[in-house]
Amino acid sequence: MNLKEPPPDSVVLPSYEAVSTDKGKFNAAFRLWHREADNPAGKTVAQPHGDRWIVHYPPPEPLSPEELDRVYDLPYARRAHPDYKEKIPALETVRFSITSHRGCLGSCTFCSLSAHQGRIIQWRSRRSMLAEAARITRLEGFRGHITDIGGPTANMYGATCAKMANGRVCPDRECTWPQPCPRLRLAAKEELAVLESVRTLPGVKKVSIGTGIRFDLLDDQPSLHYLEQLCRYYVSGQLRIAPEHVSPRVLLAMHKSSHASYMTFRRRFAETNRRLGKKQYLIPYFISGHPGATVDDALELAEYLVRTERLFIRQVQQFTPLPMTAAAAAWHTGKDPLTDRPMYIPRDPKEMKLQRSLLQLQEPNNYIYAQRALLKLGRHDLLRRLQSLKPLLRPERPGRASA
């Protein structure tokens, strides 16, 4: 903006010129922006760039269910633009799915979702989703399976607190970390009611939750009923979850819940499926090379995958610094931008490859690469631990966790 002054009452960040050359100022700017970014009551943030200002206004007030319904009730074609002649794989996966809400109140440091959809959950009414499901049943090619009803995280549907109900969030506290906030109220009953209404709609044979769930919000007693319903009706053999790592140091850097919380959920999921006589699996996602993760941490995760899970994962997400995330700021500056504490950053491509190889040791080339790399690093302690995993590696085993 060609402003001579920043807008009144705005938070002024260190200038572009300052943050480009001074990493301390870069993190200071991130902290100031982050405090206001996902709060409709936040202040306008302004940064001088040469003789102009970049101005970031607070997010709009969240939409009420009635307002969001109006957006989703529009007569969308649910098809690619006619200019596309070829099939679009990404469209196929969402063609028969329903968005139940927007926003994410998690605060994973590597994810930009709360920066662009906001922390406040905005959800649709059951009526609107049922109407959409009925429209889906009339679509060409629909065979009775609604492949997903969810949002960024399915079990955040309807989640709120007194503050969020007024369109505000706490600027100095995260909603799910280090522990879920005691003031946060989930809406499992309402979510299950939506799922059941759609599942019993004429023309619908199956409804799945394809987007995954946040397991750390499910470790109390009342959540057992939700989990039972999930396993009974809404898991299509596999349920996606995102523990992301097992090392406490890395989980701390990611602002993810503890490994113990994942293990509790894993046990409950297995017990529930056993009771229901179902063979269903968890598909856990893990990230390699996240800021804060050392080779020792990667080996700890490898040991967990091979010894405990007996899981050989086919897909590993290599950490990618996403703009406007705390992890990207840490990756750039070498310090946690929220605490200013120094943080280990695995930037060397060889180390990134080593960390990734350790998570997929069932690939023979990865095992050999990891062995050589550890030898080169002189990490005989880690090498011995790696070699002790070798007898447990069987490449032909399926790439999924046992229930």
Among 175, 250, 302, 330, binds ligand SF4 (CB under 6 A): 175
Segment near ligand SF4 (CB under 6 A); pick from 126-134, 157-165, 188-196, 354-362: 157-165
CB 154 within 8 A of CB 212: yes
H helical segments located in 221-359: 223-229, 248-254, 259-276, 295-303, 326-333, 349-359
CA 111 centroid distance within chain: 6
41 binds ligand SF4 (CB under 6 A): no
Both tokens of 110, joined, read 């590597």
169 binds ligand SF4 (CB under 6 A): yes
Longest pairwise C-alpha distance within the chain: 69
Q: What is the closest distance, in whole angstroms, from the C-beta atom of residue 174 to ligand SF4 in the complex?
A: 6
- Between 130 and 181, whose beta carbon lies closer to ligand SF4? 181
Segment near ligand SF4 (CB under 6 A); pick from 20-28, 57-65, 167-175, 389-397: 167-175
Amino acid 166 reads N
104 binds ligand SF4 (CB under 6 A): no
Among 52, 79, 173, 384, binds ligand SF4 (CB under 6 A): 173
Among 184, 263, 324, 393, binds ligand SF4 (CB under 6 A): 184
- Between 48 and 171, whose beta carbon lies closer to ligand SF4? 171
Amino acid 394 reads R
Cα separation of 367 and 361, whole Å? 5
Among 41, 181, 252, 316, binds ligand SF4 (CB under 6 A): 181
322 binds ligand SF4 (CB under 6 A): no
- Between 169 and 382, whose beta carbon lies closer to ligand SF4? 169
Closest CA to 169 of 105, 227, 265: 105
Cα separation of 293 and 250, whole Å? 6
Segment near ligand SF4 (CB under 6 A); pick from 109-117, 145-153, 165-173, 208-216: 165-173
CB 155 within 8 A of CB 218: yes
Amino acid 152 reads P
Strand order in the sheet with 281-288: 238-244, 281-288, 317-318
Kindly state the helix (H) or strand (E) to which residue 312 belongs, with its residue range: none
Q: What is the Cα gyration radius of the chain?
A: 23
161 binds ligand SF4 (CB under 6 A): yes
214 binds ligand SF4 (CB under 6 A): no
Closest CA to 39 of 177, 212, 175: 175
183 binds ligand SF4 (CB under 6 A): yes
E-only strand ranges, 132-226? 145-146, 148-150, 206-207
Q: What is the closest distance, in whole angstroms, from the C-beta atom of residue 162 to ligand SF4 in the complex?
A: 7
CB 276 within 8 A of CB 230: no
Segment near ligand SF4 (CB under 6 A); pick from 47-55, 158-166, 201-209, 291-299: 158-166
Segment near ligand SF4 (CB under 6 A); pick from 68-76, 170-178, 252-260, 278-286: 170-178
- Between 109 and 355, whose beta carbon lies closer to ligand SF4? 109
Q: What is the closest distance, in whole angstroms, from the C-beta atom of residue 126 to ligand SF4 in the complex?
A: 23
163 binds ligand SF4 (CB under 6 A): yes
Q: What is the closest distance, in whole angstroms, from the C-beta atom of residue 105 to ligand SF4 in the complex?
A: 6
Segment near ligand SF4 (CB under 6 A); pick from 93-101, 159-167, 311-319, 367-375: 159-167
206 binds ligand SF4 (CB under 6 A): no
Among 98, 164, 282, 373, binds ligand SF4 (CB under 6 A): 164
Cα separation of 169 and 38, whole Å? 8
CB 386 within 8 A of CB 370: yes
Amino acid 40 reads P
For binding to ligand SF4 (CB under 6 A), which residues are involved? 161, 163-164, 169-170, 173, 175, 181, 183-184
